[in-house]
Structure 1
Amino acid sequence: MRVRSAIAATLLLGMALCCTAKAQDLASFEKRTTVKVLPNGLTLIVCERPEAPVFSFYTLVDAGSADDPQGDSGLAHMFEHMAFKGSTEIGTTNYPAEKIALAKVEVAYAAYDAEFRKRVGQNPAKLAQLKKVFQDAQAAAEKYVIPNQFSQIAEQNGAVGVNASTSEDSTEYFWSMPSNRLQLWAYLESQRIGHPVEREFYKERDVVQEERRMRIDSSPIGRMVEQLLATAYVAHPYGRSGVGWESEISQVTATEAEAFHKKYYVPSNIVIAVVGDVKASTAMPILERYFAPIPAGPKPEPMTTIEPPQFAEKSVVIKEATQPFYIEGYHRPDYRDPDDAVYDAITDIFSNGRTARLYRSLVRDQRIAAEAEGFSGFPGEKYPGLFAVYAVPLPGHSPEEMRTAIHKEIDRLKNEDVTDEELARFKTRARADLLRGLADNEGLAHQLAEYQTRYGDWRELFRQLDKIDAVNKADVRRVANKIFVASNRTSAQIDFVPPQQNPEPSQLPTPRTPAPAQTGGAK
């Protein structure tokens, strides 16, 4: 009776979603959506949604942390920060003079950095003198800076949610504002894409270093995940720290950031979606006016590095006086794989909410975990990523118990068909998630830009439902047996160990002669 009621509820929800979808179907969006590729290669998408006098935009640059040059991890993230520093026209009192001052900063930093990097023969007195020259050059350049002017202009004109993010796959910029400020937004966005200035670069570099310390160095789970990826990948950049290795962040330069922008922030590598109370007939000429003059450039060459197949199980064990944790990852193909929707099904059935298998088994029934979940496409989807599963043990339980319990549930996926109810629930939720993603302007702008970038056609967003509907029980078992094998697994765990108190003399570190004091932004 309970099963019958659940199936009935699922069908009713599906009917309701189908009714809602009538206003959200592909044909409706095709009437309201205009795509134009400018002569310089930049792609513009305008979707008319006049329900309220506002619009949202989403600028997607098809370059993320995976594209950081060798030795410059964190550069994509660093440039995201710099994109809010203004341009040749915004954030400066006198750009011609500032340009000269910034060039002097780079000359001074190059001299300081060259001395700092000497592994033999470094002169402490010369290093200190070069550092002072560098600091004086920075101070001279800062006299021309109008701090935070870019964001202030946007917010003073009604912008909300002014933000950006850098993932392994891409860098995104977004906010929402009144529709009568469309032209102002086009000016601001075209300025930071086409005419950025690396002002206050080294000050912002310190901010990024602090961000790393907070997210990674001071976080046991952050360090564990970083080590998991570094262990799982031997060739592909997904194995590098997304926020950047400390030693590389501390020595990246404004000159290198400019080179990154020149290579990746070319119009042919950018998609901009605008959604809201805008008419394509009037909006598109405005957008062309501001974005078309951005100089064209060659689209960055595709990445050629392919992660070789993993042929042996790998593991990381961290022992600390902190919350125990267990996570494991299995290599899977990228988003273009024909079985991509099957991975979505496994993720949903395995770990989506309180009805999912992991939660029911580890949290509700066995009561050995405070949390248990799986997720796919980690740390990115553009290239082959990981299907990851984690569990947080309750007091008195260990990471090894989490591992055993997770593997038991994985074996069920491999050896038994999922139920009709589980498969139906996945498909219903997938449709609901799509509709929710289209419900607000910012979410829709994100989806349009993402699918246009990844597939070359935003309509693929709607075609995903056909792929989801085609998933069957045999697909789930087939894919589970293909991916969930020990030789394809990398695991990481935190084992709790009590903090040492009054260690024996033999356990104390051997005193070392202190090295000469070093000053500067690198270690």
Structure 2
Amino acid sequence: MLRLKIAFTTFILALAGLPAQAQEPRQATHEFHLDNGLKVIVREDHRAPVVVSQLWYRVGSSHEPPGQTGISHALEHMMFKGSENLEPGEASKLLGSLGAQENAFTSRDYTAYYQVLSREHLPIALEMEAERMHTARLPEDEFLREMEVIKEERRLRVDDNPNSLAYERFLTQAHMASPYSKPIIGWMHDLERLTIEDLRAWYRTWYQPGNAILVIVGDVSLEEVRPLVETYFGPIPAGELPPQKAPLELPGGAQRNVTIEVDVQLPSLIMSFNVPSLSTAAEAWEVHALRLLEGVLDAGYSARLASRLERDQAIATSANASYSGFARGDTLFMLSGLPNPSRGVTLDQLEEALWAEVDLLKNTPPDSAELTRVKNQLIAEEVYAQDSITHQANQIGQLESVGLDWELIEQDAAALEAITPEQISAVAAKYLVAERLTRGHVIPAKPATESEPPASEPMPQAPATQAPTNERQGAN
């Protein structure tokens, strides 16, 4: 969802030169490989004497087998519990004393560790990261304590958060065939039976140089970074990696409907359609057209859902679209919203209004002025985000971790500019169809006296759940 302020949107529309700007590389970017398979990407940005170092591993919750959900996230926590020459927490204390920021995050496709620090301290960060790639201790006593922290994290972020719980349950139905249905933080019953030996085996399997990308962005040059990387990471032996296959989804065949009763005050609607990502699409233009379709529906104050469903018709108190085309496997195009309770709007009426907007786009392409506005917003957002070296590193790392080339960053503005109004209609007609739909009704849970079955009947089994992306305890 893109929601920019009116003044900001107006300012963006005045910048006629943005597409040309965005196509030009901002800094020199270099890449090389070590003999052990580690891929290294260095981007120079000399505006301030600061550098961000990120180490991305191509492993996340979508790689996890049944019974071990949450193991990638658990290992992320444990990577801060000491290595060959560092006691638990010692690396974080040292980096903190240097004024550095550090953390980690786990997703469905990858796990990443990062430090933001003064350029002269980069060797310290690289030495620590290389050491825990190869010699993380993973002590059992720390593991047992940390698992209690993770279980409490799940309770706070998911089990005791009705909206997160509803979304987790919804994803188990939206992803019929894909491992993206599994929660990143893991099912509670899997967290309770995870062992330190499971974790150590996972570490040995996936935390290898050939499964990692080191991204360094900031006030550095290739000439100074390369010897550091070779010194600290070069001696780590290469290992044998298991094969990876992209998570693919069934393209369609049937609508799925799920009613989720949780402790919310108001009902809400979630609709998702199985669609490709840039990694799985047969035609790349379709992904860029889907990105712009999302923008036409939900890019700012003037977008169709906000202007029509929220303000003009007052059918929804909020109506949103979302799509991310940068994943390892097939993904979802989502529509969601809250019906306006003051007007007695039902979930069915809200869905009817959303379908009306979708059908209008299928039959009538957006005009050039509307599409230009959306393109300018997307491109401008990206241009301004480049002021952050962390954002630049995140872009590079994410693309490389899901099997895409970082150079797509430099081609993105041109790819968006090339999309026509007719292509927006074409992807809407192809992908936003009933046979690709999962419909979720999130409704307030009934009082216990109404929802409990008679004592003679067996209790129905609770639906499965799905958690949002989680970072190490205390992150962000």
Alpha carbons of structure 1 residues 18 and 486: separation in structure 2 relative to 1, 3 Å: closer
Name the residue aligned to 1:441.
Answer: 389
2:149 is matched with: 207
For residues 269 and 88 of structure 1, the distance between their equivalents in structure 2, rounded to whole angstroms, comes to 21
Partner residue of 1:401 out of 341, 349, 354: 349
Give the C-alpha shift of residue 498 in structure 1. 5.7
SS at match of 1:491: strand
- Matched with 1:25 is 24
Letter in 2 for 1:48: E
- State the match for 2:315 in structure 1: 368
| 1:206-254 deviation per Cα after TM superposition (whole angstroms, max 9, x unaligned) | 1111111122211222222112111122322111222211111111111
Q: TM-score, normalised by structure 2?
A: 0.87
Contact 1:451/1:457 (8 A) holds in 2:
yes
AA paired with 2:349? E
The reply to whether residue 186 of structure 1 matches residue 126 of structure 2 is yes
Distance 1:269 1:36 in 2: 14
Distance 1:324 1:285, change over 3 A: same
2:331 corresponds to 1:331? no
Query: d(CA) in 1 for partners of 2:426 and 2:359?
Result: 12
Contact 1:163–1:174 (8 Å) recurs in 2: yes
Q: Which moved more, 1:297-306 or 1:208-217?
A: 297-306
- CA displacement 1:18-38 (0-9 Å, x = unmatched): 5855xx822x53xx2221100
Amino acid in the other structure paired with 1:387: F
2:335 to 361, 384, 389: 389
For 1:175 and 1:304, locate their aligned partners in 2 and report how far apart those are by CA, in whole Å: 29
Instruction: Report whether the alignment pairs 1:54 with 2:56.
Output: no
Structure 1 unmatched ranges of 5 or more: 1-5, 92-146, 513-523
Counterparts of 2:239 and 2:48 in 1: how far apart (Å)? Answer: 37
| Range that drifts further, 361-370 or 327-336 | 361-370
How many Å separate the matches in 2 of 1:156 and 1:260?
31
Post-superposition CA distance 1:81-101 (Å, at most 9, x none):
11111212111xxxxxxxxxx
Structure 2 residue runs of 5 or longer lacking an equivalent are 1-7, 459-476
Q: Which residue pairs with 2:182 in the alignment?
A: 240
Amino acid at match of 1:352: A
Residue of structure 2 in register with 1:489 after alignment: 437
Letter in 2 for 1:205: M
Is the CA contact 2:274–2:437 (under 8 Å) kept in the aligned structure 1?
yes
| Higher alpha-carbon deviation: 484-493 or 290-299 | 290-299
Q: Distance in 2 between matches of 1:456 and 1:381?
A: 9
Shift of 1:175: 2.5
Deviation at 1:167, TM superposition (A): 0.9
Q: Distance in 1 between matches of 2:211 and 2:45?
A: 26
SS of corresponding position for 1:367: coil
Question: Within the alignment, does 1:152 sit opposite 2:93 as a pair?
Answer: yes
* Residues 247 and 328 in structure 2, CA contact (< 8 A), matched pair in contact too: no
1:333 shift after superposition: 0.9
Find the aligned partners of 1:469 and 1:40 in 2 and give their Cα distance: 40
* Distance in 2 between residues matched to 1:11 and 1:309, nearest whole Å: 37
Per the alignment, residue 262 of structure 1 pairs with 204
Which gives a bigger RCO, structure 1 or 2 (Cα 8 Å, sep 6+)? Answer: 2
- Which AA in structure 1 matches 2:324? G
1:299 Cα shift? 3.6
- Within-5 A mapping of 1:412-491: 412-454=360-402, 457-491=405-439
Percent identity between matched residues is 29
SS at match of 2:193: coil
Report how many residues are paired. 442
TM-score with structure 1 setting the length: 0.79
Q: Which amino acid aligns with 1:493?
A: H
1:408 to 1:263, Cα distance in 2 relative to 1, 3 A: same
Change (3 A) 1:304 1:347: closer
User: Are residues 1:13 and 2:15 paired?
Assistant: yes
1:454, 1:8 → 2: CA distance? 35
Name the counterpart of 2:79.
83
Is 1:225 equivalent to 2:167 in the alignment?
yes
TM superposition shift of 1:366? 2.1
Distance change (3 Å), C-alpha of 1:232 and 1:20: closer
Query: Residues 190 and 7 from structure 1, CA distance in 2 versus in 1: closer, same or farther, beyond 3 angstroms?
Result: closer
Q: What does 1:309-324 correspond to in 2, within 5 Å?
A: 309-322=251-264, 323-324=266-267
Q: Provide the residue aligned with 2:114 in structure 1.
A: 174
| CA shift digits 1:51-107 (9 cap, x unpaired) | 21211122211111101122101111111111111212111xxxxxxxxxxxxxxxx
What is the one-letter code of the residue matched to 1:412? L
Q: Confirm or deny: 8 A CA contact 2:270 2:336 kept in the other structure.
A: yes
- Distance across 1 between alignment mates of 2:137 and 2:73: 16
Q: Write the distance in 1 (CA, Å) between the matches of 2:313 and 2:255.
A: 27
Corresponding letter in the other structure for 1:384: D
Distance 1:454 1:55 in 2: 24
Higher deviation after alignment, 436-445 or 301-310: 301-310
The one of 343, 346, 349 equivalent to 2:290 is 343
Deviations 1:119-150 (A, max 9, x none): xxxxxxxxxxxxxxxxxxxxxxxxxxxx4222
Tell me the distance in 2 between the aligned counterparts of 1:7 and 1:306.
37
Contact conserved, 1:56 with 1:177, CA < 8 A, in 2? yes
Higher mean C-alpha deviation, range 452-461 or range 321-330: 452-461
Matching residue's letter, 1:232: A
Q: Against the structure 1 CA distance between its residues 176 and 41, is the aligned structure 2 distance closer, same or farther, given a 3 Å change threshold?
A: same
| Alignment of 1:356 onto 2:303 | yes
Match of 1:104 in 2: none
* 1:204–1:366 CA distance, 2 compared to 1 (3 A): same
Provide the rounded CA distance (Å) in 2 between the counterparts of 1:480 and 1:71. Answer: 38
